[in-house]
Structure formats: structure tokens, C-alpha cells
């Protein structure tokens, strides 16, 4: 093969990926599936992987977090290393990664926020959605933020899906958040919330609102909350009508239908209310030492269909409110040693190759929100990362004969600097600990929200082979009644009691599906079997997600599927019926 011949002189290509969010994992997947001999070192500043899937996606949207199943599988592929708790630009430099790896992919997302650029923006009680979302999702950077939820009236500036998440978390009855993975400190604060009225403010009109219809509909279905719009705001100009008539604009049509339904709703006494407000541009936040009022100006739309902009009129509008969240988009943070376009807030690139002016910088690549800006859902990052990896592999195919040591050199360097690296086994232990902490409360997990606690939670990990493979079968009866792989289940303390010569396989340590292997095979063989079972399980589980049956029934079917597939492959180490019996678990039909 083309690339192979160019690299035939070296045993493996070493690629560093900076950032463990969706774009980082999809880049890793594309590299590990390339058929080449690749080692991927994923470097993440937090001890925990998964980026915004862990710390952005709302706690009441657990299904959307299932992407983690895929990322977990990628992380367990041979050739993948996780260096958690390592920040590029602080603990290791771009130049060092360039020297130790054949290529470096930056997938650092967009960790800060845009500013409105109006007076009073930094007053107390004015916050960003970034902070609030990070806070309720247990991101350690935002652990100690406080929000004055004793205020009755809140304004959210911006009408995108992040604004919808912020609004929903503020408006929902707190009991509906109780069994989610919301951070404990946020749940406690929200339980005392006095918020009654939430104004969600757009500078343009209802047709231009960026909510997806599904998210908007959800806001209209919150128990005990009236979702309202003003009919006068829904009168459309000719350009907006043209936008609506575009056959591709199904989202606009869906949204306007919902806004029209909200316009005829009446608030009931004692209910919370969400009020959608349009054509209003923020001008200032004012108050005596803290936010008391938002000053807005009415706007009118100008420009052709799909390119209409909000032009300020001289009509002021005042809104009394004690808490303001701006949700007007995220923004990437420059990384020392890497070019950054300050206007766009992204790293300049062509096809994912990092540019310094008009020149591409060999060996440096970018992917995800850092590459294209802070838009797009989780899946959007897959094609984006595939494009970047295609560029990377095409470049390597032109010449790559210098041997590099990748993880080995990075590990030595970090050790010399006293950086405590959190590897994937550490994460697996932390994950298991979070799930155990959540269980008594009926939550899928109780997140650790401070870095020192995260490091401490996996401090006692041993290094013996097989130690993290989990113990024998511990599944169906414990999962009974659960509806989601990440829902809490009775767990065996598998890590602690595991013998170092364990011969069992944990498909996903956090889910406690384990399969006894029979006679003790060697470490490499255990690893091979574990990977096969995990893949069979994950493929089946994702494709069977919408099929009927209780969780236990679906799990039984998964076991059956795994056994069938193993038999078809001629593997002789299928699920062990004797062990099931011994453990008092129901027999698996196909064993």
C-alpha cells in the first residue's frame, strides 16, 4: 500500500491527539481503523475523558450520552493510550509533542464563551451559559461557581440549543432531575430555586431562532410551566416568509408552529413561565452593584432571506431581572505554540492541516470545534475528524521514515515534571466509583467534581495484569428494571477483590457485564477475548436499543447474541453456564 511503503522503515506511526471529546475520539477511531500500524496517545487536561458529552450534554438527556459507549470501545483498542490530567501548553508543549510524534491533532473544543460587549456584562448575577452548564454537569472548573437562584426573574440571551438546556434545567421540577447524573451541588441549589419567570431573548425573529424543533417542543412540555410567546412577535416580514417556504427549512417550520401554539397559551396561577422574546438586542446590564435590569433595544430585520441581520431601532425596552445568562455561543482558547485566528476564534487550517499564514505547518492538524467553530452536534465531528485524518495520512504517505517513541518519551517527560498522569484504567476505576456513589440515590452516577478527589478515587490502583478485568458474571439480576446501560445497578466490587491471575473479562467495567473465560489464558489472550466480547456487546446493544423488552430481557438477548457470534467464529470460550448457576443467575437460553 502507498502509505505502508513510505513507512516501511519504521515500526509504527505515533500520533498525539490533544483533547478527549468527540472530535478527538473520532480522529482516534479513523487512525486505528486505517489498517496501518498506529499508536494513538490521547492527551486530555482533565482526568476524565469525553469532553462536552460528559460536561455539556444536559443531565436529563441521558440517551445522547450513549456516544460514550463508542468512545469507550475506541479507548480499549490496542494501540490507544490515554494521558488524562495533562494540559498541553502547561504540562507539555506543542514543540515537545511535535518532536515525540509523527503528527499531532488538536481537538480541544471551545472552552470559553463569546461576549456581548455591553456595559455591565461583568456585574455580579451576570453569567455565561458555559459556567452554568459546567456547574450543573460537575465540570471541576466551575465547581465553586454560585448562582443566585433566589431571583424570581431570569433572562437568557440567545436562542440556540444551549439556551434551551439552560432554560429547561431552570424550569423543570427539580424532582425530574433527581435521578439524572446532575452534580449534587447543583441539584441542592436548584431544589431551593425561587425562579418563576424565564425570558429567552433573541435578537432576530422566531424563524431565525436556532433551537432544533425537538428541543423547543420539550420546553413546551415541562410540567408546571407555561411556555408563552407574544403573537405580535410572530408577524413575519416577506423575507422570513420566504425562509419558511424553503423546502429544506423544516426546522423553521416546526419552530414557528410551536411558537404560534405558545402564543395562545395562558399562564396559570402558581406556574413557572418561559417567555420567548424576539427582536431584542441587549444594550446594557444595570443595577446597584449587581444585575437588576437588562436594557434592550428593539430590532428590525434587514437583508435578504437567510442572511437577515438584526438592526437596532431607537426603541428601548427594559426588563427587570435579577439574573442574566448569556448563551450566545462558545469560543476556543488559543494554545501556546499553535496559530490562532482571533477574529474567528479557531485555528486556521486547510482540510485540517494547521496553517501559519499561507503555509501549512508539517505534522500539525486540527479537528472539531477548534477547527470549524462552536457549532454542530456530536455526530458532526465524525466527518470533520475523518477529513483531518485523511489529510494526515496523505501527508505521511509522502514520507515518514523517522522513528519516534511517542508515549514512551511523553511518559518519561511527564514523570520528570511530576505530572500525575491519569490513564484509562484510572478513569475506569473512577467511573465505577461514580456509578457506585450514584446508586443509593437512584442516579446513574454521582460525579466527582474536584480534580484532587478524582485523583484520590483511583489512587490505590494496582498494576497487576488482569486486575481491572472485573470478576465473573454479575449482570442480569442486577440490571433488572434498569432501562439504560449507564443506569445504576447493584455492583460487585470487582476491582478490589480481583486476583492478579483473574481469567474473567469485563465487557464494560462500569456496566458489570463480565464473562468467565474458563481455563486461565495469558494476558494477551484475555485482552483479545475482551475486545471481541466488548465489540459484540456494544454493536448488539446499540442496534437493539429501540427494541422492546425489559432491560434484563435485552441483556439476555445480548448474551445469546454474543454466544451465537462466538460459536460462528469457532471460539470455544463462550458464556459459562456453570458459573452462572453457581452465582444464582438465571440460565442464558443459548448457553
Ligand X SMILES: Cc1cc2nc3c(=O)[nH]c(=O)nc-3n(C[C@H](O)[C@H](O)[C@H](O)COP(=O)(O)OP(=O)(O)OC[C@H]3O[C@@H](n4cnc5c(N)ncnc54)[C@H](O)[C@@H]3O)c2cc1C
Ligand Y SMILES: NC(=O)c1ccc[n+]([C@@H]2O[C@H](COP(=O)([O-])OP(=O)(O)OC[C@H]3O[C@@H](n4cnc5c(N)ncnc54)[C@H](OP(=O)(O)O)[C@@H]3O)[C@@H](O)[C@H]2O)c1
Sheet of 293-302, strands arranged across: 280-286, 293-302, 309-320
> Do residues 126 and 176 touch, judged by C-beta distance below 8 A?
no
Interaction partner, residue 89 (ligand Y, ligand X, none; CB < 5-8 Å by kind): ligand X
Nearer to ligand Y, 52 or 532 (CB): 52
Cβ distance 48 to 457 under 8 Å?
no
Residue 329 interacting partner from ligand X, ligand Y, none (CB closer than 5 to 8 Å by kind): ligand Y
- Residues 6+ away with beta carbon under 8 Å from 493: none
Q: Is 168 in the site for ligand Y (CB under 6 A)?
A: no
Binding mask 182-211 for ligand Y (x = CB under 6 A): --------------------xxx---x-x-
How does DSSP classify residue 268? P
Binding part of the chain for ligand X, among 49-57, 352-360, 543-551, 581-589 by CB under 6 A, reads 49-57
Residue 159 site contact among ligand X, ligand Y, none (CB < 5 to 8 Å, cut-off depends on kind): ligand Y
**In the complex with ligand Y, which residue's Cβ is closer, 201 or 536?**
201
Interface with ligand Y in residues 355-374 (CB under 6 A) = 374
Q: Are 367 and 51 in contact (CB under 8 A)?
A: no
Region of residue 546 (left: phi > 0; alpha: psi -120 to 50; beta: else): alpha
Instruction: Count Cβ neighbours within 10 Å for each residue of 537-565 and write b for 16 or more, e otherwise.
Output: bbbbbeeeeeeeeebbebbbbbbbbbbeb
Q: How far is the CB of 576 from ligand X (least distance, A)?
A: 38
Query: Least Å distance between CB 374 and ligand X?
Result: 7
Cα 283 to its chain centre, rounded Å, is: 33
How many angstroms separate the CA atoms of 392 and 365, rounded?
7
Find the part of the chain contacting ligand X (CB under 6 A) among 170-178, 181-189, 277-285, 369-377.
369-377
CA distances 129 to 113, 114, 134, 304, Å, are 8, 10, 8, 30
397 contacts ligand Y (rule: CB under 6 A): no
161 near ligand Y, judged by CB under 6 A? yes
Residue 109 makes contact with ligand X by CB under 6 A: yes
Torsion angle of C-alpha atoms 468, 469, 472, 478, degrees rounded to 10? 70
List the one residue out of 328, 340, 333, 325 whose CA is nearest residue 112. Answer: 333
Nearest approach in angstroms of CB 115 to ligand Y is 8
Answer yes or no whether residue 107 interacts with ligand X by CB under 6 A: yes
Q: Which of 158, 206, 363, 368 binds ligand Y (CB under 6 A)?
A: 158
Integer Cα distance of 379 and 99 in angstroms = 32
Q: For residue 451, count other CB atoms closer than 10 A to its CB.
A: 18
Asked if 229 touches ligand X (CB under 6 A), the answer is no
Q: Which is nearer to ligand Y, 118 or 361 (CB)?
A: 118
**Which of ligand Y, ligand X, none sits in contact with 116, Cβ below 5 to 8 A by type?**
ligand Y
Applying CB under 6 A, which residues contact ligand X?
18-24, 43-46, 51-52, 56-57, 61, 64, 87-89, 107-109, 111, 133, 162, 165, 330, 335, 368-369, 376-378, 380-381
Applying CB under 6 A, which residues contact ligand Y?
116, 157-163, 165, 202-204, 208, 210, 215, 327-330, 374-377
Amino acid at each position: 500500500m502507498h502509505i505502508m511503503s513510505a513507512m516501511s522503515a519504521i515500526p509504527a506511526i505515533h500520533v498525539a491527539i490533544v483533547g478527549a471529546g468527540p472530535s478527538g475520539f473520532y480522529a482516534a477511531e479513523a487512525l486505528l481503523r486505517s489498517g496501518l500500524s498506529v499508536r494513538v496517545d490521547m492527551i486530555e487536561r482533565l482526568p476524565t475523558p469525553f469532553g462536552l458529552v460528559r460536561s455539556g450534554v444536559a443531565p436529563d438527556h441521558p440517551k445522547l450520552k450513549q456516544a460514550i459507549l463508542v468512545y469507550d470501545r475506541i479507548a480499549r483498542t490496542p494501540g490507544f493510550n490515554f494521558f488524562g490530567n495533562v494540559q498541553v501548553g502547561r504540562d507539555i508543549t506543542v514543540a515537545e509533542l511535535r518532536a515525540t510524534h509523527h503528527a499531532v491533532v488538536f481537538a480541544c473544543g471551545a472552552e470559553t464563551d463569546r461576549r456581548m460587549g455591553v456595559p455591565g456584562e461583568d456585574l455580579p448575577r451576570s453569567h455565561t451559559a458555559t459556567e452554568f452548564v459546567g456547574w450543573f454537569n460537575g465540570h471541576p472548573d466551575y465547581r465553586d461557581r454560585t448562582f443566585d437562584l433566589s431571583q424570581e426573574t431570569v433572562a437568557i440571551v440567545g436562542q440556540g440549543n444551549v439556551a434551551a438546556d439552560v432554560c429547561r434545567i431552570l424550569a423543570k421540577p427539580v424532582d425530574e432531575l433527581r435521578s439524572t447524573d446532575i452534580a449534587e451541588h447543583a441539584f441542592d441549589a436548584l431544589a431551593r430555586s425561587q425562579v418563576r419567570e424565564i425570558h429567552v431573548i433573541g435578537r432576530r425573529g422566531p424563524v431565525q431562532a436556532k433551537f432544533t424543533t425537538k428541543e423547543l417542543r420539550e420546553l413546551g412540555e415541562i410540567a408546571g410551566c407555561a411556555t408563552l410567546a407574544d403573537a405580535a412577535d410572530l408577524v413575519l416580514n416577506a423575507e422570513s416568509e420566504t425562509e419558511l417556504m424553503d423546502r429544506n427549512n423544516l426546522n423553521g417550520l416546526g419552530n414557528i408552529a410551536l411558537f404560534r401554539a405558545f402564543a395562545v397559551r395562558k399562564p396559570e396561577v402558581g406556574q413557572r413561565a418561559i417567555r420567548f422574546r424576539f427582536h431584542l438586542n441587549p444594550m446594557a446590564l444595570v443595577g446597584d452593584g449587581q444585575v437588576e435590569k437588562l436594557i434592550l433595544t428593539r430590532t428590525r430585520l434587514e437583508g435578504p432571506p437567510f442572511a437577515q441581520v438584526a438592526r437596532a431601532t431607537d426603541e428601548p425596552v427594559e426588563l427587570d431581572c435579577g439574573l442574566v445568562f448569556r448563551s450566545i455561543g462558545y469560543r476556543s482558547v488559543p494554545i501556546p505554540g499553535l496559530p490562532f485566528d482571533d477574529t474567528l476564534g479557531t485555528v486556521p487550517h486547510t482540510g485540517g492541516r494547521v496553517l501559519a499564514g499561507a503555509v501549512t505547518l508539517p505534522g500539525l492538524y486540527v479537528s472539531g470545534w477548534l477547527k470549524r467553530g462552536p457549532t454542530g452536534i456530536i455526530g458532526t465531528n465524525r466527518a470533520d475528524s475523518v477529513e483531518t485524518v485523511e489529510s494526515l495520512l496523505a501527508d505521511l504517505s509522502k514520507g515518514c521514515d523517522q522513528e519516534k517513541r511517542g508515549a514512551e518519551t511523553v511518559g518519561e517527560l511527564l514523570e520528570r515534571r511530576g505530572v500525575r498522569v491519569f490513564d484509562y484504567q484510572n478513569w475506569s476505576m473512577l467511573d465505577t466509583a461514580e456509578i457506585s456513589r450514584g446508586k443509593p440515590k437512584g442516579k446513574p452516577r454521582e460525579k466527582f467534581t474536584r480534580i484532587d478527589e478524582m485523583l484520590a478515587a483511583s489512587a490505590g490502583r494496582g498494576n497487576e495484569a488482569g486486575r481491572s478485568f472485573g470478576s465473573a458474571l454479575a449482570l442480569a439480576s442486577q440490571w433488572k428494571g434498569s432501562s439504560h446501560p449507564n443506569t445504576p445497578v447493584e455492583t460487585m466490587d470487582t476491582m478490589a477483590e480481583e486476583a492478579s491471575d483473574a481469567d474473567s473479562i469485563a465487557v464494560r467495567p462500569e456496566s458489570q457485564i463480565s464473562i468467565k473465560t474458563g481455563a486461565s489464558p495469558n494476558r494477551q489472550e484475555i485482552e483479545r477475548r475482551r475486545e471481541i466480547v466488548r465489540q459484540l456487546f456494544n454493536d448488539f446493544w446499540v442496534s437493539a436499543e429501540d427494541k422492546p423488552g425489559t432491560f434484563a430481557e435485552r441483556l439476555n438477548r445480548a448474551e445469546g447474541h454474543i454466544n451465537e457470534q462466538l460459536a460462528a467464529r469457532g471460539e470455544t470460550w463462550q458464556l459459562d453456564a456453570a458459573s452462572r448457576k453457581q452465582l444464582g443467575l438465571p440460565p442464558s437460553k443459548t448457553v
